[in-house]
Structure 1
Amino acid sequence: MTLHKRKVLFSATVYAHLAAFHKPFIKLLQDKGCEVYAAANPDHGRKEEIEELGVICWDIPFSRSPYDRANIQAVKELKRLFQTHRFDLIHVHTPVASFLVRYMAKKCGQGPVLYTAHGFHFYQGASIQNWLVYYTAEKLAARWTDGLVVMNREDYQNGKRLGFKEDESLFFVHGVGVSIDQYGVRGDANIRGQLGIKNSDVVITYIAELNRNKNHLFLLRNWKGILQHASNVHCLIVGKGENEEELKQYVEQNELNHIHFLGFRHDIPMILSHSDIVTLLSFREGLPRCVMEAMASQKPLVVTNIRGSRDLVQHGINGFVVDLEDDHALTESFIKLIRDPKLREEMGQASFERIQPYRLENVLLEMEDVYMRYLSSARD
């Protein structure tokens, strides 16, 4: 079914979020004949990637913090946008931006609003403050939300707590999808050679923004213990972030060997192809893309026992799931994988089998079904 003349708005705090996760879904709607707009803050870059798709962009000064006065100006800009355009569907992402957009969309008489929760900020183990602020906000915003999309089991249950109805206004999808075919191919680049890592050495790769939530220190403080059992191990830390200097200083001050900071990279499939084990030890996730990419690359994983990560990694099957701050379990999990190439291969194959429902083409079909529920009845 074509949807000519339908106007759809995608919104998130920053364009970088839309560029990283939602270009395939923008293209899906454009292929259906929709005219797609985007509203976000340009401060973190990648706006040009959205514009190159033929999307009409409207800059809104959203802030990630719900306490930032910049959000007052964001509301004013949203009002101007909604007085200028009427959208047949609005798809919102990220907590603060989605709250403001949902409120103003209903206030200004826009079409239905769909919200994808990429991991609610209230979750098992979250602080009381998070529950007070974010759960209360989502409970309030539920009245302005026509459909809620979630991507892990815990958020699905919380969606029902918020009053959404299964398969009526609450939809489970397998994340934002992963293009499996681009993984598992080594290519010409040799990351091991560039870093002086032998082919016989074991490479552990940690792909994540360098911030407190990603919990790099959990691995770093146990690194010497790991090397005591196996000295032929290297760790690649991939990403940038506010904690970069602090982490580098920790490595230097504690004289940790075989730690390589690679910064932000565009060649993640190649790096994964040269890795033996992938880890992510976050305090909070929604459904981590880097874990899905590792699974598509047929790698075993070591992850923390948190929402999202435990949806993807089954303990003892395609990796190990360890409790937060359990130093012994973390070290033991790595040692098992480092010492046993056959176990790595078996768990890597299990990862590949478990990732199949998360293929991008499957997720596009899931989201197309959700979109059509709202757009098929839109005005002509």
Structure 2
Amino acid sequence: MKIVLIITDYGSFNNFLSDLAIRLKEDGHEVSVITSETRVINIQDKFDYLAAGIKFFYVDFPRGFNPFAHYRSSKKIQKILDSIVPNIVHIHFTTGIFTTLFAGRVKYRTLGTFHGLGFPVLSGLKKQVFGAVEKFCFGRLDKIYVLNEVDYKAVKALGYKNVEKYETLGLGCDLSVFNPDNFSETWKASLREELDIGVNDFVFAYTGRFVNFKGYDKVIRSFLKLYSKNSKVKLLLIGGNDPIHPTGLTENETILMNNCEGIIHIGFTKDVASYLSITDVFVFPSVKEGMPVCVIEALAMGVPVITADSRGCNEIVQNDYNGYVVDVTDDNWSGVYEKMEQLIINKDYINQFKSNIQQDRNDYDRNRYVICEKSRYEQYSSIEK
């Protein structure tokens, strides 16, 4: 079977879809990837894709609304598809789906996975714009996939019967990598020493792009307030800036962050599990997610999570069970601060959360997603377009 995976940038493919692509190749399928050479998630390759025989085709995916740019890229993508003649085309992310289908429906069975729709959670003009783009995409897909219940109900309410919600927790994560048992106490002590983290320091972590809708600004503000009262706290920032989206911090807050000795800048890395192994609490109050992989990775490592009461996040984290779910708005981050402070003071909560997390660990397995995806491809390959 010939399968084409389309995703907006190479970094996202490497981080999210590489396990699936490798498994499909191992099963004897022909796998091609259409993506841009951009690495929004800039980590080392997880596999040797060339040796595995995965074919790559590079196309720019415009991030703006220039119709001519989308049309040019769409025509290029569809020309590549015609050269492959695939059984299945599976596109990820709204931008990837919109660009691919801008010039028209493709000739091959086309599946689209939206990692977080805009129209169910936005308001005003943005809701209208995203709604128009997303409905445009819905009408040109054979199958619509979403990651969470909010998006599923919203698409169903529009009358689309070809929508399905993933039965797994999004794309999950690799439990062989995100496994706390991989890291000995000696190894963790060495890493803490390397990062100048004291034996009694309490460690928070944030993973992802440094953008305001992911709650980055709220994490920084909360931590700076904590640090002003208690220098025995540290914050690991794992990720980096996105040139398109603002951090949400003022110029003065950025200066304070850069000068704060308690904040440790890790950058983008494929060794996220290493840093989570020395993390006490993961903080990710994002208000715009589909099903956040970084939260799944933290839980797989046995780390309790403070997150926002928002779509996707509140389907993974249960309040007072494996972490805290708090209300946040652009101007309100007090709940994030309060829960961070509470867990520093009362570590018994952390131990109870860890016990609950351990019971659910298999739910976070990316292999569940890979198996389900392979089953979908086998199902749809037997249906004529």
Q: Do they fold alike, i.e. is TM over 0.5?
A: yes
Alignment of 1:352-367 (within 5 A): 352-367=358-373
Give, as a single letter, the amino acid of the residue that structure 2 aligns with 1:114: L
What's the offset of the Cα at 1:318? Answer: 0.8
Pairing 1:73–2:72 present: yes
Alignment of 1:127-166 (within 5 A): 127-165=123-161
Match of 1:374 among 362, 367, 380: 380
Give, as a single letter, the amino acid of the residue that structure 2 aligns with 1:282: S
- Tell me the SS of whatever aligns to 2:125: helix
| Structure 2 unaligned regions, length at least 5 | none
Give, as a single letter, the amino acid of the residue that structure 2 aligns with 1:170: E
Q: Determine the C-alpha separation between the residues in 2 that align with 1:369 and 1:191.
A: 41
Give, as a single letter, the amino acid of the residue that structure 2 aligns with 1:18: F
Pairing 1:15–2:21 present: no
Pairing 1:250–2:253 present: yes
What's the offset of the Cα at 1:33? Answer: 2.8
Aligned residue for 2:167?
Answer: 173
Aligned residue for 1:222?
Answer: 222
Q: Determine the C-alpha separation between the residues in 1 that align with 2:38 and 2:335.
A: 40
What's the offset of the Cα at 1:49? Answer: 5.5
CA offset digits 1:129-181 (Å, max 9, x no partner): 3321222222222222111222111111123134333xx64242321121223
Alignment of 1:1-380 (within 5 A): 6-44=1-39, 50-67=49-66, 69-104=68-103, 106=105, 108=106, 110-124=107-121, 126-165=122-161, 169-174=163-168, 175-182=170-177, 183-184=179-180, 185-187=182-184, 188=187, 190-227=190-227, 230-242=230-242, 250-253=253-256, 256-325=260-329, 326-377=332-383
CA offset digits 1:50-88 (Å, max 9, x no partner): 444312222212112233643232023124224433221
Aligned CA distance change for structure 1 residues 100 and 221 (closer, same or farther; 3 Å) = closer
Q: Determine the C-alpha separation between the residues in 2 that align with 1:201 and 1:81.
A: 53
What's the offset of the Cα at 1:273? Answer: 0.7
Q: Determine the C-alpha separation between the residues in 2 that align with 1:18 and 1:49.
A: 13
- Range with bigger deviation, 240-249 or 289-298: 240-249
Q: Determine the C-alpha separation between the residues in 1 that align with 2:294 and 2:266.
A: 15
TM-score normalised according to structure 2 size: 0.87
Q: Is the 8 A contact 1:210 1:216 kept in 2?
A: yes
| Structure 1 unaligned regions, length at least 5 | 1-5
Give, as a single letter, the amino acid of the residue that structure 1 aligns with 2:333: D
- Tell me the SS of whatever aligns to 2:33: strand
What's the offset of the Cα at 1:360? Answer: 1.6
- How many corresponding residue pairs? 369
Q: Determine the C-alpha separation between the residues in 2 that align with 1:358 and 1:164.
A: 29
CA offset digits 1:207-240 (Å, max 9, x no partner): 1112232232212223343246644211111111
TM-score normalised according to structure 1 size: 0.88
Give, as a single letter, the amino acid of the residue that structure 2 aligns with 1:358: Y
CA offset digits 1:175-209 (Å, max 9, x no partner): 11212232213253633111221121110011111
Q: Determine the C-alpha separation between the residues in 2 that align with 1:153 and 1:90.
A: 24
RMSD: 2.7
What's the offset of the Cα at 1:346? Answer: 1.0
Q: Determine the C-alpha separation between the residues in 1 that align with 2:131 and 2:69.
A: 22
- Tell me the SS of whatever aligns to 1:10: strand
